[in-house]
Amino acid sequence: MVKLNDAKLSAVLEREHAASLEQKKNRRAAWEASGRPAGMNPQKMDFRISDFHRTNYLSIGPAEGRFMYGQILAKGAKEIVEFGTSFGISTLYLAAAAAETGGRVTGSEFHPEKADRALSNLVAAGLEADIRVGDALETLAGEGPEIDFLFLDGAANLYVPVLDLLEPRLRPGSVIVADNIPVAKDEGHVLLDALQDRQEAYVTSIVSFGQSGMSYSVRL
């Protein structure tokens, strides 16, 4: 059983979080030097052909990771699905929680290079996850066990299609967490609009982590 404070896991998380922050700092400096706006929105790029998406972390921070880890343990969630694995920082938190609950993690990542790095990180941490490479609407399709915890952290325009795809497997009481959700009330998001239209099926709150946040929904 690998817990969040396990030495191997802690070392991998520290390394990957540091690499993510360093890359973000260098990216901002390069944008400023080139005269491009530092606030370029990766959600507006085509992740399938974008070198930006293929090579950048675009990952959660430690606070978000600990939040999800705690939620999975609190609910005893066993069937955990992740849309948007990237280099696997979030997957490490999910897999560590699954190791404690006796569960499993199924992830989806479009870029093979990122999936390979994520798997290497999991091995280094002594953890396991099933990371499926390709279009999530294909790799996550099909029948399967009821889902206890769903994490959405890929392309924003696919949040709702992925939710629609997996909704038949979401049991009552299951949790759906989505990253990169605006915390300002005047900013919209396609997922929030969809959840607003499904108030009889979900209750949703926004959790702030600085300038951005996560949505936290429970299936009714």
Domain-wise residue ranges, the chain: 57-219
Q: pTM, whole model, 2 decimals?
A: 0.92
Q: pLDDT tens digit string along 21-54?
A: 998 888 777 777 776 655 556 656 666 766 677 7
For residue 211, pLDDT over 80 is answered with: no
Contact yes or no for 127/104 (Cβ under 8 A): no
Rounded CA gap, 167 and 154, in Å? 17
- Overall CATH class of domain 57-219: alpha beta
Check residue 43 and give its pLDDT. Answer: 59
Contact yes or no for 2/125 (Cβ under 8 A): yes
User: What percent of the chain stands above pLDDT 90?
Assistant: 77
Q: pLDDT tens digit string along 167-197?
A: 999 999 999 999 999 988 778 899 999 999 9
Rounded CA gap, 35 and 66, in Å? 36
